[in-house]
Amino acid sequence: MGPMPERGLADLDRTSPRELLRLVRTTTPTLARALIRGLPLTLLLALAAGAGRIVTPLTVQYALDHGLSRPGSDLGGVVGRAVAVGAAATVGALLASWWLNLRVYRGVEAALAEMRAAGIAHLHALAPGTSAAVRPADLTSRLTADLDAVTTFVQNGGVMLLVSTVQMVLAAGLIAAASWQLALPVLGLAGLLFLGMRRLQAVVGRRFTAARRAMADLASAVGEAVAGITVIRATATEARTRAAVDAAVEDAAAAQRRVLLPLSTSISVGELAISTMTAFVVVAGVRWSGAHTRWEPALHLSAGQLVAILLLVTFFVRPLQTLVQMLGEAQNAVAGGRRALELLVTPTGAVGAGAVEGAGALPLPAGPIDVELRAVSAAYGEDGPPVLRGLNVVIAPGEHIAVVGETGSGKTTFARLLTRELAPRDGEVLLCGVPAGRIADRSFARRVTIVPQDPFLFDVTIAENILLAHRNDGDGGGMAALAAIVAALGLRPWLDSLPDGPDTRVGVRGERLSAGERQLVALARTALVNPDLLVLDEATSGVDPATDVRVQRALAALTAGRTTVSIAHRMVTAERADRILVFDDGRLVQDGHHDELVRVPGRYADLHAAWREHTATRVPHQTSRSVP
């Protein structure tokens, strides 16, 4: 049927950092450029800020060795020059740090804003099966809370960490230049600390990723508990819901606690190593710089050199201490940024419009759409059992088809094949003779539309919900199109009965409207799309009788002249169709008109008889001919 995502989010979760960065460079080059934009200047400013701080020990050494330690020297001039150089270096470091902070904050916020915008666009381009396999709260978390962790890290010390790293490298070089004997054990111990921290970083990183995943699950549980409050109260399941939320809270807390052990271990080991380095330099430097040791020829240090080394060690261990202490924040930010990047590089399965025939995307021919399924079998997941088997169906342009069958017979799967929400395991789905999976997304999107049982409405007005489907050509054009659609579908009396007419707000997910009224808005929105293939997942189920009349009139106007497939949960829908497909256990068992099928023994006659018996005591039976 067409290309499906090669790797989902679950697969990318196991991708190495190097491979993930390669995917970012190859799949989102614009974002990759945004992430490294201005990096050379940023590193240069970090070098200037770090070097400016390192100048202080050198000026102290100069003052001691050329002023205090030399009788008759120009002490005031030496100290003055040392102070002037130190002050200039400090001011330079402050200016470089200020500029660096400004650049990093702006750059990071700009990059994160671009990631959020690109993430939403990428999310809308994902194949339905890919996005449906992940909880909405997890997808939301990847573009909000996870990226917020990066912002928090940068604002709370990310720049300081960068400058400290530069400062630590410069200090290590100067210590080695002054005395390799003192530098060797210090740098050796630091190397061992880095190796240990690298292992701990891997553990901490994995556990922070698990913690962020647990927090997304918690957000999902809390969101469902809030969104479903009416159902929870009506079914008296408060205790069960609270238990589910409590379990999610405990899982999130446990995931956070699992981070603490390696994090605390790294901090304790780091403090011990740093204290050992400092003590060694102080004791060994003072002891070995004396005049009565066998180290004297190789290690004799002046007072200025010794003090400078002690200060340089401070400049070395302080950023090292910062590195250790900020390990947790850094790994949390890395885990958050990684989760966002995973979403951005997830293959969309999109079919581009620019491919040449035979190599990719094809346009969908204009006009009414005919449908053909050739030996199609379908299943959910690679190893899932088949839901549809050996399906051969031909639907003529403009024909209205009803699909009936018991729950689990394959009706919804059939609809998903037509709308590309599911790819066939075997066989081929053709629209106007073109394989559905090779039709360009832009060509497919506005030509094939589904109206679900419970359509989604945004928390805006009725007019704004309908006009979402309008091709923007100015406000006047939109309102004119709205008026035309309302008139064509016979919705003006209903809209006029509302307090604010088309400007009535629908509430969150349309909660201020009845089920039938939500369907009327969805049908008007679909009419503006003006599709050539319309899939209706029983748009009238759960609609009250009064509104059902309006819905049926709107449906009659909407389906006229269009190829229509109705997933029928009520037999009255099947009665009005040109043709009926009867599914049973994943197979097409009957195909024909209502009048033909109802007279012969078979699955359809049984379903229709059961429906008549069920509705006879509640609503007088009506055929399509009795409905205006």
Q: Which of 142-156, 224-238, 324-338, 499-513 has the highest mean pLDDT?
A: 499-513
What is the CATH class of 371-618? alpha beta
Is residue 143 within 8 A of residue 116, CB to CB? The reply is yes
With vertex at residue 276, the alpha carbon angle to CA 280 and CA 297, rounded to the nearest 5 degrees, is: 15
Q: Name the pairing type of β-strands 579-584 and 587-592.
A: antiparallel
pLDDT value of residue 348: 66
**What's the pLDDT score for residue 1?**
42
β-pair type (563-567, 448-451): unpaired
**pLDDT confidence of residue 133:** 64
pLDDT at 395: 92
Confidence (pLDDT) at 73: 55
- Average the pLDDT over 174-202 and give the result: 75
Residues 6+ apart with CB under 8 A from 263: 200, 204, 327, 328
pLDDT band at residue 572 using 50, 70 and 90 as cut-offs: confident
Q: What is the CA radius of gyration of the chain?
A: 35
Within 10 angstroms of residue 36's Cβ, the number of other Cβ atoms is 12
Which residues, in sequence order, are bridge partners of residue 580? 402, 592
HSE-CB of 584 using CA atoms within 13 angstroms? 9
Residue at token pair 């700009």: 110
Domain ranges of the chain: 9-344, 371-618
pLDDT for res 17: 62
Beta bridge partners of 371: 395, 431
Q: In what order do the strands lie in the sheet with 579-584?
A: 448-451, 533-536, 563-567, 400-404, 579-584, 587-592
| Chain Cα centroid distance, residue 437 | 24
Q: Distance between CA 568 and CA 411 in Å, rounded?
A: 8
pLDDT band (50, 70, 90) for residue 372: very high
pLDDT value for 13: 58
Quick check: 292 pLDDT over 60? no
Backbone angles phi, psi at 461, to 5 degrees: -80, 165
Please check whether residue 538 is in contact with residue 567, taking contact to mean a CB–CB distance below 8 angstroms: yes
Give the pLDDT confidence score for residue 580 in this predicted structure: 92
Q: What is the pLDDT of residue 354?
A: 42
Question: What is the phi/psi pair of residue 408, to 5°?
Answer: 90, 5
Question: Cα separation of 333 and 159, whole Å?
Answer: 13
Q: Cβ(409)–Cβ(586) under 8 Å?
A: yes
Angstrom distance (rounded) from CA 545 to CA 551: 10
Least Cα distance to 314 among 415, 172, 417 occurs for 172
- Bridge-partner residues for 591, per DSSP? 581
Higher-confidence residue of 24 and 239: namely: 239
**Residues ≥6 apart with Cβ < 8 Å to 425:** 377, 378, 379, 386
Contacts of 398 (CB under 8 A, 6+ apart): 368, 561, 562, 563
pLDDT tens digits, 377-434: 988 877 778 889 999 999 999 899 999 988 888 888 898 888 888 888 899 999 998 8
Per mean pLDDT, which of 121-130, 201-210, 376-385 is the most reliable?
376-385
9-344 under CATH 1.20.1560.10, yes or no: yes
- Flag whether pLDDT at 437 surpasses 70: yes
User: What's the CA gap between 63 and 77, in Å, rounded?
Assistant: 10
**Which residues make Cβ contacts (< 8 Å) with residue 8, sequence separation at least 6?**
130, 133, 134, 346
Closest CA to 387 of 378, 399, 397: 378
Single-letter code of the amino acid located at 131: S
Q: Which helix (H) or strand (E) holds 520?
A: helix 515-529
- What is the model's pLDDT at position 377? 92
> Residue written as tokens 């053709």?
430
pLDDT of residue 131: 63
- Judge contact between 513 and 457, C-beta under 8 A: yes
In order, the DSSP letters of 161-224 are HHHHHHHHHHHHHHHHHH-HHHHHHHHHHHHHHHHHHHHHHHHHHHHHHHHHHHHHHHHHHHHH
Decide: helix, strand or coil at residue 37: coil
Residue 585, class by beta-carbon neighbours within 10 Å (0-12 exposed, 13-18 middle, 19+ buried)?
middle
Three-state secondary structure readout of 56-102: HHHHHHHHHHHHHCCCCCCHHHHHHHHHHHHHHHHHHHHHHHHHHHH
Choose the weakest-confidence range: 169-173, 344-348, 448-452.
Answer: 344-348
267-298 burial, b at 16+ Cβ within 10 Å, e below that, comes to bebbeebbeebbeebeebbeebbeeeeeeeee
